[in-house]
Chain A
Amino acid sequence: EPEVTQTPSHQVTQMGQEVILRCVPISNHLYFYWYRQILGQKVEFLVSFYNNEISEKSEIFDDQFSVERPDGSNFTLKIRSTKLEDSAMYFCATRGQGRETQYFGPGTRLLVL
């Protein structure tokens, strides 16, 4: 069964450093999403991406965040200058054309020290 994959599974970084989280969508999916989940809290929407541009973004997705699909395969989330409060699980999700169901990857656990 096709699945969304994410790398790395864990990332530890120093405050102020840049991190890039990677996602490989299900092959025929065209809609991509990033979510985060702070420990013990709700899953929160960050950004949606379609046709090589951002469709929607939340208040969390400020200028420190960016997304791209540089090679037509990987979908990346970059945090330019990490803050302590960026520590969370980051989930990528993808969706097919005309379908509502989003399929989530296993997540990247980011720890900012």
Chain B
Amino acid sequence: GESVGLHLPTLSVQEGDNSIINCAYSNSASDYFIWYKQESGKGPQFIIDIRSNMDKRQGQRVTVLLNKTVKHLSLQIAATQPGDSAVYFCAENIGTGGSYIPTFGRGTSLIVHP
């Protein structure tokens, strides 16, 4: 069936480096994608989203890139800080009738070393 997945389960970087977290999706009908950050013991926190009619969207220190040709999504974090250490989930929106229910990937654990 359709699924959302992540290439790397763990990513370790040094403070100040740029981080790139990747995600593959397979549902070509998905038109909305979200990145969430989940710190230990907390709920998923919205970071940034992108619609399928866009290729790139920038936020504060984060950029999401969408390549619909290969069904690939990435999250770039500039100047990574220790506070960025968390699990990052991509999710695709397959909601119907406006329910906007995301399907989550398994997550990538980002570890930032000071």
The chain B residue sitting closest to A46, CB to CB, is B101
Q: Mark contacts of A87-113 with chain B using CB atoms, 8 A cut-off: 1 yes-contact digit, 0 otherwise.
A: 000010101000011111111000000
Please determine whether B102 and A102 come into contact, CB atoms closer than 8 angstroms. Answer: yes
- Docked pose: A105 CA to B36 CA in angstroms: 13
Chain A, Cβ-Cβ closest to B96: A56
Complex CA gap A14/B66 in Å reads 46
B residues near A (Cβ < 8 Å) are: 32, 34, 36, 41-46, 49, 89, 93, 95-97, 99-107
Q: How far is the CA of A80 from the CA of B99 in the complex (A)?
A: 26
Determine the interface band of chain A, counting residues with CB < 8 A from chain B: 20 to 34
Interface of B is mostly: loop
Interface assignment of A65: CB less than 8 Å from any CB of chain B: no
| Given A55-B97, A100-B100: A41 in contact with B44 (beta carbons within 8 A) | no
- In the assembled complex, how far is the CB of residue B77 from the closest CB belonging to chain A, in whole angstroms? 19
Contact A100 B93 (CB under 8 A): yes
Contact B32 A104 (CB under 8 A): no
- Write 12 A-B pairs (CB below 8 A) sorted by A numbering: A31-B99, A42-B104, A55-B97, A100-B93, A101-B34, A102-B102, A103-B46, A104-B43, A104-B45, A105-B43, A106-B42, A107-B43
> Within residues 21 to 60 of chain A, which ones have a CB less than 8 A from any CB in chain B?
31, 33, 41-45, 48, 50, 55-56
Report which of A33, A45, A100 forms a contact with B32, defined as CB distance below 8 A. A100
